[in-house]
A and B are shown apart, each in its own frame.
Chain A
Amino acid sequence: MKNLLTIGLPSKGRLKEESISFFEKNDLKPTSNGGERNYFAQIENLPNSKIIYLHAKEIVQRLGDGTIDVGISGLDLLKESPINLQKKIEVKKKLDFGLADVVVAIPNDWIDVQTVADLEEVSFDFRDKKNIRLRVATKYPNLTNNFLVSKGITQYEIVPSLGATETYPFIGSSEIITDITSTGKTLKDNNLRVLKDGFILNSQACLMFSKKKAKNLQTFLNSLTYV
């Protein structure tokens, strides 16, 4: 169908619930014919549209290749994606959920390290005294590289992580980490502390458009009365 509007929504967790609730507040209730685990849904009062539930990271990628026209995903995931992909996506609205920060966190007991400038000094100590690079475990290698290099930290090595990044400094896999946090509790519980000026990105859920299709999406945007 030529004018079919394809919408990608997060497939699990709080991001899924809040995305659905955002649609409902706008009088666009997703309904599904299949079981609870069906990945497809429709919106009754928005004909010619379908919803696909996808991993939040996947939503960014599918917006990039144009498989979906509209999606809700985290700003962190968009900003972490390759620059060519980002150019194909437009952030239409920042939504008031999924609020979290991507931060640099260090072991609590590194009491001599309060700022990024301190960390820079320590990173050179690693190089000069131990002849190794400070290791930074992260799920966000691109954001981390851009941030650290812009703050004068160049002597480090990224250790890619898929999850439970907070454990890395204490099992010898890295010295410090960057990660996403909303309340800071997980960091605190794992004896980590955010650097005073270690905020890489304020992230939140965003409504994103595929630029290829942006022209045809005005009607949809008009239907969002509740913001």
Chain B
Amino acid sequence: MKSKNYSENIIKVFKKDGFVLSEPDVLLDSDYIIQRSGENFRKLMFTFEDDAGKSICLRPDLTVASCIKYLKDNPKKNSKIFYSGQAYRRSDNRKDKVINDQLGIEILGSKNKFIDDLKILKTIDNSIKKIKIKNTSIKVGDVSLFQNLIESLKIPQRWKMRLKRHFWRPQYFKDLLNRLETSSDVDPAEINLDKKRFSEMKKLNQSKEIANRKVSEILSRFDRKIKDPRLFSENKKIAKIIREFLKINCSASKLEKNLINFLEKNKLRNNVFKDLSTIKKLSKINSKTIFSTNFGRDIEYYTGIVFEIYNSSKKEIARGGRYDGLIKSLGSKKNIPAVGAAINLNNLKI
């Protein structure tokens, strides 16, 4: 099948399943993206300046571009959209493609997580079946399970936040776990010096700002920090539990059993992992579905289920997931949960 026919057939499935065409902008305001996604996103972007000195980039990602368009158009409505277009990404690795042809769907303002996650998965699966690609396999992860686990552990809130934030950066995460085991980040000598300044600063106007932070904000964080109640022996145990969790890798149908074993072995509450129904259903869509707790750690914006679909020669042909925080971080005042996926046309071509 030619790639044009691929697209036509996939789009037919998208439309049949109720997704409406949306055409996100090709050129985006780079400063807007950097301000909201952080400087490390810049490495992926092709950036240039227009005559007025404004920095513009080619859309690095169609999900981000679609969210920006959604926010511009009408953020009140839920929308089920599909797009067909190219994303442009810079990479240090010469083997990576710069131009990626993508066909994707998104449910922006997704109110029912279970129904919508499954809807996205089913539509992508139907599209792949429609273009007669057989013997596919799925790899799936769920960032929220990791978050459930962290919440159930007895470590200071600061450390919980920290571990959650850096889940998607495996190398740094490893360092963090080592640090959790070995060191305290509170230096007693230093603290004594600063305590003096602490009492001086208490007398200041608490809403006075020092480089954009209120005095009250600084003092309350200082206070929280010196009361950090970490115990080294406990931390070793906790780091071990987290490492063990991240090794779980099994067929999706066996996930529930494995998680229960894991909880029992580590003497954790049996209701830590809240809901596995989507993953269980996924194993019915495709029997070759592998679940891995360590999967989906390369894109920061995912917050729930993450998946990739491969063809018989193990090339990735589609990927997607839930991203409940992205639209807010792009400037929306409200939380707007969302889920989506895209088919990578480049890897369909034979």
Which residues does A use to contact B, with CB under 8 Å? 106-107, 109-112, 114-115, 117-118, 120-122, 124-127, 130-133, 145, 148-152, 154-158, 169-170, 172, 174-176, 196
Contact = CB atoms under 8 A, between A and B. Distances in A.
Contacts of A145: 39-40, 42
A152 B169 CA distance: 8
B interface majority secondary structure: helix
B197 A111 contact: yes
Contact of A110 (B34, B35, B210, B329): B210
B329 A175 contact: no
Chain B CB within 10 Å, residue with most, of A107, A151, A152: A152
Contacts of B218: 109-112
A202 to B, nearest CB: 22
B72 interface: no
Given A149-B40, A157-B39, 20 more contacts: A107-B210, A110-B211, A111-B194, A111-B219, A112-B218, A112-B219, A112-B225, A117-B162, A117-B179, A124-B161, A124-B165, A127-B38, A133-B35, A145-B39, A154-B38, A155-B38, A156-B38, A172-B212, A175-B211, A175-B212
A109 B166 CA distance: 27
Contacts of B172: 150-152
Contact of A121 (B158, B175, B179, B190): B158
Interface string B213-227: 101011101100100
Contacts of A127: 38, 329
B211 A121 contact: no
Contacts, number: 94
CB-based closest 9 A-B pairs: A112-B222, A169-B211, A112-B221, A154-B40, A111-B194, A175-B211, A154-B38, A107-B211, A155-B38
Contacts of A133: 34-36, 38-39
B166 A157 contact: no
A128 to B, nearest CB: 9
A9 to B, nearest CB: 34
B301 interface: no
B211 A176 contact: yes
B250 interface: no
A149 to B, nearest CB: 5
Nearest to A176: B211
A122 B38 contact: no
Contacts of B176: 152
A169 to B, nearest CB: 4
